[in-house]
Amino acid sequence: MKKLRVGILGLRRGRSHLGNFMRVEDAEVIGGADRHEHIREAAQEIAPDVPMVEEYEELLAMEPDAIAVCTNGRAQAKHAIQALEAGCHAMSEVPGVFTVEEAHHIVAAVQQSGRQYMLAENSCFLDFLRYWRKWVLEGCLGDISLAEGEYLHYLPYSLMDADNNRYTPAQAREEGRTDLVPTWRADQPPIQYLTHDLGPLLEVLDDRVVSVVCREGPWWQTQTPLRADAQVALFQTAAGRLIKITVTLSTRRPGSHNYRLHGTEGGAEWLSHEGFCRICDRDREEREGWECVPIGSAAPEDDKTVGHGGTDIKTAYYFTKAILEGREVPIDVYRMCDYSVPGILAARSAELGGQPITVPDIRSGPRGGTVFWEHVPIPETEPERWDYESPSQLIF
């Protein structure tokens, strides 16, 4: 079978994608590009036979079948469009777009080029979500009226020097540095970085957002950039559900992703620092409390060393498989818009003091159902459950 010839653009975050595409049997990494020499050298250590070049145009000149766009969030749309116009398929890191206008431009580029675009949202491949989708389809939780996601990630290192070394604003002030420039996330509203939480919930529920209200807290964390310490958005979906997303990039605490489903006959939740799922479904009385299910970020057979709990390699695997089989990718350009545009408009709502904002559907026609689960298998069985009493009893 023909292999998918892949180029990696941006070798800081792209170093992970470089290694993962090298692990995918049906993919061949033909080159990488990054303007920072020391980052190219680090990538060369794990791929000594792969050419590493400075400019994107040099990478495109190698005539890859696809480009993995791993550049900063403000450049991803531009670079993905450039790949599509060069006749390449594109797999982009999140958030994919930084403005609503970029969303329209990238959709047009996909339509005009006839090539495929996939958002590399790794959180959608968290293993427990397969079971959540199963429970939703089987009605174990009843009708889901509310879902929640939380992204808690302390990101103080928002300034960088010419060698790409990172500093906090407080360090820059203390050292009197005037040569530092902000990273692309330095002034990004926290809620705009929500695809890791909204995306998975939209796939579990097979839904899309139609409106949003958002409020923000103050800037009190002097170690981080001048922006709200946290933002909380409430989204209404096409099916009438509510989805609440909380994002903070300024709270000094261990990072965490947390997800919850609230149904008419039960609920489920997964907290990343615990690593297992809780469920109280229609077959269990409320007074009996939670049951625990040992499902987490990766299945037992998954390679957990490949990044983000074993999810990173799945973006490379399912992208490669879909392109070679001539199938629609799991998270296409329209689904990317479903994940990213609501966060952009949530930030706008926060600026307006919580004013409701309609979220447009950028499709040219009606939305069909999710295709994600046509790629990612839903389990037929599940691990044995046990009564939840105390975290001290959990041994893995």
- Cα–Cα dist 261/135, whole Å: 11
Residues 220 and 360 reside in one and the same domain:
yes
Give the pLDDT of residue 228: 95
Residues 232 and 361 reside in one and the same domain:
yes
Whether residue 314 lies inside any domain: the answer is no
Residues 203 and 339 reside in one and the same domain:
yes
Whether residue 229 lies inside any domain: the answer is yes
Q: For position 152, which CATH number holds? A: 3.30.360.10
Whether residue 172 lies inside any domain: the answer is yes
β-pairing, 159-160 vs 256-263, is unpaired
- Cα–Cα dist 385/391, whole Å: 15
Residues 104 and 160 reside in one and the same domain:
no
Residues 178 and 101 reside in one and the same domain:
no
Residues of the chain under the 50 pLDDT cut: 393-396
Tokens of 265: 């006959």
Residues 254 and 339 reside in one and the same domain:
yes
Closest CA to 208 of 236, 177, 244: 236
Give the pLDDT of residue 395: 47
Give the pLDDT of residue 391: 54
Q: Which among 115, 144, 163 is the end of a domain? A: 115
- Cα–Cα dist 375/349, whole Å: 35
Q: Which among 62, 85, 115 is the end of a domain? A: 115
Total domains present in the chain = 2
Whether residue 286 lies inside any domain: the answer is yes
Whether residue 67 lies inside any domain: the answer is yes
- Point out which residues pair with 270 in neighbouring strands: 259, 277
Whether residue 367 lies inside any domain: the answer is yes
Whether residue 317 lies inside any domain: the answer is no
Q: For position 16, which CATH number holds? A: 3.40.50.720
Count other C-beta atoms under 10 Å from residue 157's C-beta.
17
Residues 92 and 159 reside in one and the same domain:
no
- Cα–Cα dist 247/189, whole Å: 9
* Residue 16 domain boundaries: 4-115
Whether residue 311 lies inside any domain: the answer is no
Residues 42 and 86 reside in one and the same domain:
yes
Chain centre distance of CA 381 = 27
Residues 290 and 366 reside in one and the same domain:
yes
Residues 89 and 223 reside in one and the same domain:
no
Residues 135 and 14 reside in one and the same domain:
no
Residues 111 and 177 reside in one and the same domain:
no
Q: Which among 115, 140, 155 is the end of a domain? A: 115
